[in-house]
Amino acid sequence: MFSVLIKSAVPKYRKLLLPAQTFIRTMSSSDGPTSPYTTLTISRPAESITHVQLHRPDKLNAMNKAFWREMVECFNEITEDKDCRVVVVSGAGKIFTAGIDLMDMANDILQPKGDDAARVSWNFRKFITKYQETFSVIEKCPKPVVVAVHGACIGGGVDLITACDIRLCTQDAWFQVKEVDVGLAADVGTLQRLPKVIGSRSLVNELALTARKMYADEAKSSGLVSRVFADKEAMMAGALEMAGEIAGRSPVAVQGTKINLIYSRDHSVDEGLHFMATWNMSMLQTEDLTKSAQAAIEKKSPKTAVFSKL
Amino acid sequence: MFSVLIKSAVPKYRKLLLPAQTFIRTMSSSDGPTSPYTTLTISRPAESITHVQLHRPDKLNAMNKAFWREMVECFNEITEDKDCRVVVVSGAGKIFTAGIDLMDMANDILQPKGDDAARVSWNFRKFITKYQETFSVIEKCPKPVVVAVHGACIGGGVDLITACDIRLCTQDAWFQVKEVDVGLAADVGTLQRLPKVIGSRSLVNELALTARKMYADEAKSSGLVSRVFADKEAMMAGALEMAGEIAGRSPVAVQGTKINLIYSRDHSVDEGLHFMATWNMSMLQTEDLTKSAQAAIEKKSPKTAVFSKL
Amino acid sequence: MFSVLIKSAVPKYRKLLLPAQTFIRTMSSSDGPTSPYTTLTISRPAESITHVQLHRPDKLNAMNKAFWREMVECFNEITEDKDCRVVVVSGAGKIFTAGIDLMDMANDILQPKGDDAARVSWNFRKFITKYQETFSVIEKCPKPVVVAVHGACIGGGVDLITACDIRLCTQDAWFQVKEVDVGLAADVGTLQRLPKVIGSRSLVNELALTARKMYADEAKSSGLVSRVFADKEAMMAGALEMAGEIAGRSPVAVQGTKINLIYSRDHSVDEGLHFMATWNMSMLQTEDLTKSAQAAIEKKSPKTAVFSKL
Amino acid sequence: MFSVLIKSAVPKYRKLLLPAQTFIRTMSSSDGPTSPYTTLTISRPAESITHVQLHRPDKLNAMNKAFWREMVECFNEITEDKDCRVVVVSGAGKIFTAGIDLMDMANDILQPKGDDAARVSWNFRKFITKYQETFSVIEKCPKPVVVAVHGACIGGGVDLITACDIRLCTQDAWFQVKEVDVGLAADVGTLQRLPKVIGSRSLVNELALTARKMYADEAKSSGLVSRVFADKEAMMAGALEMAGEIAGRSPVAVQGTKINLIYSRDHSVDEGLHFMATWNMSMLQTEDLTKSAQAAIEKKSPKTAVFSKL
Amino acid sequence: MFSVLIKSAVPKYRKLLLPAQTFIRTMSSSDGPTSPYTTLTISRPAESITHVQLHRPDKLNAMNKAFWREMVECFNEITEDKDCRVVVVSGAGKIFTAGIDLMDMANDILQPKGDDAARVSWNFRKFITKYQETFSVIEKCPKPVVVAVHGACIGGGVDLITACDIRLCTQDAWFQVKEVDVGLAADVGTLQRLPKVIGSRSLVNELALTARKMYADEAKSSGLVSRVFADKEAMMAGALEMAGEIAGRSPVAVQGTKINLIYSRDHSVDEGLHFMATWNMSMLQTEDLTKSAQAAIEKKSPKTAVFSKL
Amino acid sequence: MFSVLIKSAVPKYRKLLLPAQTFIRTMSSSDGPTSPYTTLTISRPAESITHVQLHRPDKLNAMNKAFWREMVECFNEITEDKDCRVVVVSGAGKIFTAGIDLMDMANDILQPKGDDAARVSWNFRKFITKYQETFSVIEKCPKPVVVAVHGACIGGGVDLITACDIRLCTQDAWFQVKEVDVGLAADVGTLQRLPKVIGSRSLVNELALTARKMYADEAKSSGLVSRVFADKEAMMAGALEMAGEIAGRSPVAVQGTKINLIYSRDHSVDEGLHFMATWNMSMLQTEDLTKSAQAAIEKKSPKTAVFSKL
């Protein structure tokens, strides 16, 4: 339904052929082969980089029931996948995502179960908590997640990208906190993370209370994204280059950095420093430190060092 | 006194005739008719929108004793007023506000009471706590508050606007954290809220420690305001349009959004998500959800739906 | 070593002659004369202003063992020095700082002590905690600290400046969160303070995870610095002018403002207001309030008032 | 209704004649005479001591609508009453209280208002929050509150006494967390305060989940009460004696102690110490300190000193 | 191994025949039949009561690898099982549990994996976090858990019981925080929960730092357990009776009580009250309230009411 | 002065000859010999045990200016002393301590410095904060501290013992929170730590608000102390035996236990578990684990293992 609503607003996109985007499910889990996802495609565009693509292009990557489940499975696998050091998330087709697939999920939301209002509440709470987890897994995954947004990023899409670590977009991208338009307060992450992701509280409130669109320029100046690219092709190249920079560095350093940045967000500076010291008391014992220092002394890039898997 | 100080700096304003700004005290409280405020005027410029105007134009809307009390009464009434869904705050006359009316309040501040320094402290603490409440009521009111600043916003004015949800200003507006100039650390909200309202801590510190003026452009680029308008007329039109957008949406969604945005500011993301799920377990049982979804399916604006009062 | 690495990137700087920068160690502590620092120079460029200069110019102000200790001593002295009301920090020579002096500190970091991994961890924890203190003293010092960055600010330099209150830089300055390049998560403040200092979390993550350089323009637009100057001379003049503005105001007001701004960062708004009221219940009993008010009534600058030492 | 339920369980009480318990509404507020309460009686049994008596003896002091409102008014008055330094709370008649008067309040609880489940929730939340305030006022009142329980203390009674500072009871008293028996989780304080009031979490859970009665001996050994008396007469004498001890000491010391004890409960030790230092920086400037020290040097009781009102 | 160590200290137990303890795996999950656990037996001794028995009697119920996994599965099932309203946990055989089965787990703990100390740490952290979950599931399960301890409760056993809601024991039971004896700080819950479960911090520290045994009397007087029974038979009867009391009350009330008691433990009173109001705004809309009130009016036990499943 | 006040109340003590209590200052610090303390004596009654004795017996161990400074120095040394694994604190002479030596400190407290009330406050705050540190060092020292109280423990003495880990006392000991008697709220720890040390909040409030004495039996039943001994001789023997139990176990386990117990006190269970996992990820890599496990397998006491210094 949402897909329908925004179809007209979507600009045409030329076919994108991401180099090496051959569809391979490379992340082997220890418990045998997994059946491919129906809403996501997973590939390995370069060493140590996992590319997760929202992949229901004919439905504008709207988030149906399968999606909410598959994201959790997918990021749990990525967390365990020792060959992956960084993740790129993007959307297939015309836009990044139209948000929640209200048609597919209508009976869960509009026809709740329970013998009285308290029991309906009880069930709704479990339901919301489960769906919050779909994006929290991105944050719990210690590997940095770069998200690349083109076209439109609506409703649940904003919930998704605020849980990622680095946000990029194309010049024609727009963002919309859509939930008030369908009669609810956004409950899977936007209201919690957006204010900690961009610096202007007035803007956050305006977006969340009026559901107006925000375009690429404002997304950049407000700090929602840290880079804007001319088009999707340029953005994907940029995303992969950035991912390559991250993947080439010590995973002990990189993943410790992500974990501590998230810890810091939710704690005072003193608490953050205390945790950091307790974290690094062991992590400084990595051989990556010597390898990286050696590279530095030899005036080589840290990417020339070979680090053990983590 | 402050009024005197800044009078020369204030540009001339042409008379503003806000449509429908006929002075009516529409908010009927259950305990009978209330006498009109002496420092505020209240009107209903459009359905579900309450316009609160700082209204001591000859004193540059300086905040005297009556003001501190009337703001609390006014916002308590607004909180209870089921016909109000959104609030616009602005200032009458040449500027938004010159801040605290030091002349009117001098004997409270400069001639404190108490038999010894401890007892003076005791009384000051009650006094400060009471005055903090004057702006905290804005935050406790679940209805979004859009504040429109023209001319100047000084001292207590900054405390006031940082407690509002959305900040707009005119091109000629300037802002000043004035307190260090009168020998005190700002104690009714600026030091607590300003750093959570704009993204640059260096700027916050500079403003609070040097009392320098910040003009509209910097207010916009730093995120203090989310929109700048050419003049007051344009701003008021813009404020009312924005208020209309908010007022037309489900009050369950809108007020739940405000409450959760404020909760999120003061809690970790995990705590925020947990509260959100507990909040929405009942709020998703609103009929507004079905009405809004219906409008969406029929490709109508959510504002076409008719929502029950809240 | 780091010094070596970045030497080529550093532009030539003309000799800077800061007025009155005669090297005097004016801060007399009660326990007798202190020997001069080896990595810092301290001067009093104007009344009530202390200028701390990172001063190992031939080593690009790299942070060696002595530096970590001397910063603590220096800021402890400043905290006690009643003649100092504001601090300016800058770097001597070509750049602000090349960050940690890895050569000098290599045996501490790369050859840790302890009979087993747990004991090595124990020692590392003490070591990190001690080094965190080097920058936390800046925050614990109640006097505002303005930092002026020219050339480059690398690794430990970013940890340092994020603990300062106001950040300025020259047009040719660049900043680099360097730690992932040497195989570790930054552990003396950057990951804790940077996200609370600038508004864009995407940018923070990008800087910390890729170690890319950020130049002056982006530092300004992101809010890391609040002012950019054409060159170091202009910046130092600007820094001293700003310091003068602060030094001229009531130290009770100024230092109370710093203390409460830092408190607010780490607490909810309600907690911050509560602490503020408890703080000001005594601080409003200062004579500075009357003196400042008097100046205001006489339409004089607050800087004309004479305030007791604090 | 609850009254009915427990009537049979209540032992006979001999008439109690508290010395000086002449019924006088002595707390004169500055805004003129107040009409007497219908559910409480207020007296001044000794200098500086206010005695608040739950006083619907024929209804077993069940908490009706008037009670919830009057408690707030009463403690707000006590907070302002400079002649009161300590409060004793007890119940008139056969028992302390039978808890909520379900009959009187049934239509509020069992026939909620609102057009849909979300709006009913909205109204319930306001209702609960208002009722929580009824007991939170006891905690916000800086004057110590000693509560003396005889006979039975049921449901809302436990919410009430856990908000008091010191709990005493008679040998025949019993306590019952009644709420699960009427189909709800206790929501006006018991679940929040009881675990912080007694040391055994297993016991707290047992009481709250099974609604079993706890008798005086277990109340004493678990720490719910700090003293058990043979009968009500002895208890009231003991309560007044204890109140006299408190009333005779410096009100600056006593009320600062209460405020900081409550602050400490809700914060870490470090936070508590920080607040304490900020509190006492002014409170140590009281003349009470010198007066008390003088008494000590002269080997007199601190009660011989005459302290200014607070 | 631990089993071996304590075997001699274990008193003989007569065979226990719990009425109706016929071994049935009644908790049907929606995804088909589950294979029975190897370390636990599950039964339904009475309506709505699930009995979980640690069941490796020949190994003194030592916690082997299977146990850590099965506890999670078991409590996840219980959480979903609408026919279960309360849980009783006990141990089969001579003692409650000898704690961790060090023999079975030695290679995980004593032969850690990882290419350097940092990577070993990384793996240990995942390992500890996973094992912490084994007991946290008890707390996350909204159904009250009564644990009945006989004989001995050692090491991991204390971690387990402190995560339960109500603790009972036999007269011959003893408890031992064993971890310092094997060279580690207890890391799956004891150090976090024990201090919040009993009132004497001196005792907690003594137990954790000396690993001395605590017997039933001290367990009762310190509040670790709320009841002591003569022998296991009496205890199991008492546990089932108490479970029956809980199971007979409204599950909305009971489970809401558990959830809010745990929330309160980890938050300030104000935060707890705020959450409580938000929780109950929907939960008061249960029909259980009317049913319970009706029973009360008819002077019947709340257990006579029939409540919908939750 | 306080000494004077309580002298009459002190029972006669027979001379105590602690075995091996030869007065030696064994804790060699790396920076050369330290001059002996004037208020403390330090000895090594047994391997790895440091005995700190309050030692101004003729002044009833009243806390004079030197004491506040020496405690900090002493515990800083103990923290660094690798030969010390556990600390015992006791008092020389008739009683444990009479609390603050008001005579010696009168001019600091009663004749404060500062040009106005704000500046006096500023100085008092520094003063209080410094004195709080005197007892916080006990908590920051990772080695367990057992305190043995005989005779009387008054005022500052209660602040001291609540910062220790394990509290023991003689049958004739009494405790008194004395501060309200001298006109101030206790500000160096009692109000913050006592409520987290004993389980009955009613008792804590009673003690702090009335300054009544609490005797050994109530100290034991309330959980303030975990053991009561017949006399000082028996207590010191018991304290040393307990210290020996602790000293014989792995210092990695013991000190990690103390650190995490204190962390847990000030954090939610979830935060505590998270920190614990991050702590133990390195600490489990100690060889002490294997040594302890080996001892356990060989059925030897953990004290037979030889652990490296920490």
CB contact under 8 A, F275 and A275: yes
Flag whether residue B31 sits within 8 Å of chain D, measured between CB atoms.
Answer: no
SS3 state of residue F242: helix
Contact F279 A275 (CB under 8 A): no
Contact yes or no for A250 and C198 at CB 8 A: no
8-state DSSP, F216: H
Is E205 in Cβ contact with F166 (below 8 Å)? yes
Mean pLDDT over A250-259 rounds to 98
Q: Give E 45-104 residues with CB within 8 A of chain F.
A: 102
The candidate with the shortest Cα–Cα distance to A53, out of A147, A137, A144, is: A147
pLDDT band for position D242 (cuts 50, 70, 90): very high
- CA of A95 to nearest chain F CA: how many angstroms apart? 39
CA atoms B102, B104, B110, B112: torsion sign:
negative
Closest-CA distance of chain F to residue E203, Å: 5
Our CA-based measurement puts residue A179 at a distance from the nearest CA of chain D, in whole angstroms, of: 16
Under DSSP, is residue C88 helix (H, G, I), strand (E, B) or coil?
A: strand
Mutate: best of C270, C278, C280, partner D, most D CBs <10 A: C278
Residues of chain A with Cβ-Cβ distance to F285 below 8 Å are 282
Is C73 marked active-site? no
Q: Which domains does chain F have, with CATH numbers?
A: 2-247 (3.90.226.10), 251-304 (1.10.12.10)
Round to whole Å and give the CA distance between D209 and C304: 68
Segment A95-117, tens digit of pLDDT: 999 999 988 888 888 778 999 99
- Tell me the β-bridge partners of C169: C149, C228
Share of chain D above pLDDT 70, in %: 89
> Of E282, E283, E284, which to mutate for an interface test with B (greatest number of B Cβ within 10 Å)?
E282
Query: Residue E121 and residue A283: Cβ atoms within 8 Å?
Result: yes
Active site residue E187: yes
Q: Are strands F213-215 and F166-170 parallel, antiparallel or unpaired?
A: unpaired
pLDDT of residue F102: 84
Q: D200 — phi, psi (to 5°)?
A: -100, 110
Q: Give the tens place of pLDDT for each residue, A274-298.
A: 999 999 999 999 999 999 989 988 8
Cα B281 from Cα B292, distance rounded (Å): 18
The answer, yes or no, to whether residue F30 has pLDDT greater than 50, is no
Question: What is the DSSP-derived secondary structure letter of residue F97?
Answer: B
C177 token code pair: 């969160």
CA distance E152 to E175: 6
Hey, what's the torsion of the CAs at D136, D137, D139, D143, to 10 degrees? -170
- Determine the distance in angstroms separating the CA of B287 from the nearest CA of chain D, rounded to an integer: 7
Q: Does A212 touch chain B (CB under 8 A)?
A: yes
Counting Cβ atoms within 10 Å, is residue F299 exposed (0-12), middle (13-18) or buried (19+)?
A: exposed
Instruction: Read off the pLDDT of residues B36-71 as tens digits, 9 standing for 90 and up.
Output: 799 999 999 999 999 999 999 999 999 999 999 999
Question: How deeply is B11 buried, as exposed, middle or buried, from its count of CB atoms within 10 A (0-12, 13-18, 19+)?
Answer: exposed
Chain A positions in Cβ-Cβ contact with residue C193 (cut-off 8 Å): 269
C268 in contact with chain D, both atoms CB, cutoff 8 A: no
Query: Is E226 in contact with E144 (CB distance < 8 Å)?
Result: no
**8 Å CB contact of A261 and C208:** yes
Interface with chain E: mutation pick from D134, D202, D224, highest number of E CBs within 10 Å = D202
Q: Hey, are the CB atoms on F310 and C283 less than 8 Å from each other?
A: no
pLDDT at residue D267 greater than cutoff 70: yes
**Chains touching F by CB (3 or more pairs below 8 Å):** A, B, C, D, E
Token pair for residue A1?
């339904």
Closest CA to D48 of D249, D233, D260, D288: D249
3-class SS at A170? strand
The reply to whether C172 belongs to the active site is no
Q: Which of A96-110, B266-280, F295-309 has the lowest mean pLDDT?
A: A96-110
Give me the interface pTM, i.e. the ipTM: 0.90
Mean pLDDT in residue range F224-233: 98
By the CB < 8 Å criterion, does A107 face chain F?
no
String of DSSP letters for chain D: -HHHHHHTTPPP------TT---------TT---PPPSSEEEEEEETTEEEEEE--GGGTT-B-HHHHHHHHHHHHHHHH-TT--EEEEEE-SSSSB--B-HHHHHHHHHS---SSHHHHHHHHHHHHHHHHHHHHHHHHSSS-EEEEE-SEEETHHHHHHHTSSEEEEETT-EEE--GGGGTS---SSHHHHHHHHSS-HHHHHHHHHH--EEEHHHHHHTTS-SEEESSHHHHHHHHHHHHHHHHTS-HHHHHHHHHHHHHHHTS-HHHHHHHHHHHHHHHTT-HHHHHHHHHHHTT--GGGS-PPP-
For residue range B69-96, list pLDDT tens digits in order: 999 999 999 999 999 999 999 999 999 9
Which chains reach chain B with 3 or more Cβ–Cβ distances below 8 angstroms? Answer: A, C, D, E, F
What number of C-beta contacts closer than 8 Å exist between A and C? 185
Inter-residue contact D49 to D84 (CB < 8 Å): yes
Helix, strand, or coil (residue A168): strand
Predicted pLDDT at E103 = 84
Using DSSP's 3-state secondary structure scheme, residue F293 falls into helix
* CB of A109 less than 8 A from some CB of D: no
Chain F positions in Cβ-Cβ contact with residue B120 (cut-off 8 Å):
117
The first and second tokens of residue D17, run together, are 């004649």
Q: Residue F10 is encoded by which pair of tokens?
A: 């002190």
Sheet containing C40-46: give its strands across: C40-46, C49-54, C86-91, C145-149, C166-170, C227-229
Mean per-residue pLDDT over chain E, rounded = 90
> How many contiguous H segments (helices) and E segments (strands) does chain E have?
12, 9
Instruction: Give first-to-last CA distance, chain D, whole Å.
Output: 43
Q: What is the pLDDT of residue A106?
A: 80
Q: Which residues 6+ apart lie within 8 Å of C1 measured at CB?
A: A293, A296, A297, C101, C102, C103
| Separation in Å, CA D44 to CA D19, D47, D306, E144 | 10, 7, 19, 46
Spatial neighbors of F41 by CB under 8 A, at least 6 apart, are F23, F52, F53, F55, F92
Exactly one of E100, E138, E166, E198 is catalytic; name it. Answer: E100
pLDDT tens figures, D30-50: 333 344 799 999 999 999 999
Write down the pLDDT at residue D4: 38
Contact E209 F166 (CB under 8 A): yes
- The 3-state DSSP class for residue E91 equals strand
Structure tokens at C276: 């503020």
CB–CB contact F264 E209 (8 Å): no
Residues 6+ apart with CB under 8 A from E232: E13, E16, E148, E150, E170
Q: Crossing angle, helix B117-140 and helix B65-80, to 10 degrees?
A: 40
Give CA separation, E145 vs E49, E104, E240, E246, in Å: 10, 27, 11, 10
Contact E116 A286 (CB under 8 A): yes
Residue in C104, C133, C187, C233 annotated catalytic: C187
Q: What is the pLDDT of residue A200?
A: 97
Q: What's the rounded Cα separation, in Å, for the pair C194 and C200?
A: 10
Q: What is the pLDDT of residue A91?
A: 98
C271 flagged as catalytic: no
CA distance A101 to chain D (A): 23
Q: What is the pLDDT of residue F215?
A: 98
Q: State the Cα–Cα distance between residues D243 and D85, nearest whole angstrom.
A: 9
Residue B117 sits at the chain F interface (C-beta within 8 Å): yes
For residue range F57-114, list pLDDT tens digits in order: 999 999 999 999 999 999 999 999 999 999 999 999 999 999 999 888 888 887 789 9
Is the alpha carbon torsion for C77, C79, C85, C87 positive or negative? positive
Which of helix, strand or coil describes residue B254?
Answer: helix
Contact F290, F306 (CB under 8 A): no
Is C231 annotated in the active site?
A: no
User: In a 10 Å sphere around its CB, with 0-12 CB exposed, 13-18 middle and 19+ buried, how is residue C22 labelled?
Assistant: exposed
Are C281 and B205 inside 8 Å of each other by CB?
Answer: no
Q: Which residues have CB under 8 Å from C69's CB, separation 6+? A: C134
Tens digits of residue pLDDT in A222-233: 999 999 999 999
Asked if the C-beta of D144 comes within 8 angstroms of chain F's C-beta atoms, the answer is yes
Mean pLDDT of chain B: 90
How many helices (H) and strands (E) would you count in chain F?
Answer: 12, 9
- Residue C16 CB coordination number (10 Å): 15
CA distances in angstroms from D143 to D40, D183, D251, D259, E63, listed in the order given: 18, 35, 8, 9, 52
CB contact under 8 A, A196 and B269: yes
CA distance A57 to C197: 39
Say yes or no for a CB contact (<8 Å) between B206 and C221. no
What is the least distance, in Å, from the CA of B120 to any CA of chain A? Answer: 33
Q: pLDDT band at B304, cuts 50/70/90?
A: very high
Q: Do A252 and E119 touch (CB under 8 A)?
A: yes
Cα angle: B155, vertex B158, B162; to 5 degrees? 155
Exposed e or buried b per residue across D24-48, where buried means at least 16 C-beta atoms within 10 angstroms of its C-beta: ebebeeeeeeeeebebbbbbbbbeb
- Does the beta carbon of D120 lie under 8 angstroms from any beta carbon of chain A? yes
CB contact under 8 A, F269 and E266: yes
Distance, in Å, from the CA atom of D190 to the CA atom of D208, rounded to the nearest integer, reads: 9
Q: Which residue on chain E is closest to A290 by alpha carbon?
A: E116
pLDDT, one tens digit per residue, over E195-239 is: 999 999 999 999 999 999 999 999 999 999 999 999 999 999 999
Burial D254-291 (b: 16+ CB within 10 A, else e): bbbbbbbbbbbbbbbbebbbbbbbbbbbbbbbbbbbbb
For residue C78, give every residue at least 6 positions away whose Cβ sits within 8 Å of its Cβ, in sequence order, or none: C27, C50, C52, C84, C87, C141, C143
| Residue F18: CB atoms within 10 Å | 18
The mean per-residue pLDDT over the stretch F137-157 comes to 98
Interface of E with F in 148-187 (CB under 8 A): 179-187
> How close, in Å, is residue A212 to chain F by CA atoms?
38
**Nearest chain E alpha carbon to C119:** E117
Residue D195 contacts E, CB cutoff 8 Å = yes
Of A182, A189, A198, which is closest to B296 when you measure between CB atoms? A182
Question: Per-residue pLDDT for chain C (310 aa), expressed as one digit of tens each?
Answer: 344 344 434 343 333 333 333 333 333 333 333 447 999 999 999 999 999 999 999 999 999 999 999 999 999 999 999 999 999 999 999 999 999 998 888 888 877 899 999 999 999 999 999 999 999 999 999 999 999 999 999 999 999 999 999 999 999 999 999 999 999 999 999 999 999 999 999 999 999 999 999 999 999 999 999 999 999 999 999 999 999 999 999 999 999 999 999 999 999 999 999 999 999 999 999 999 999 989 988 889 999 999 999 9
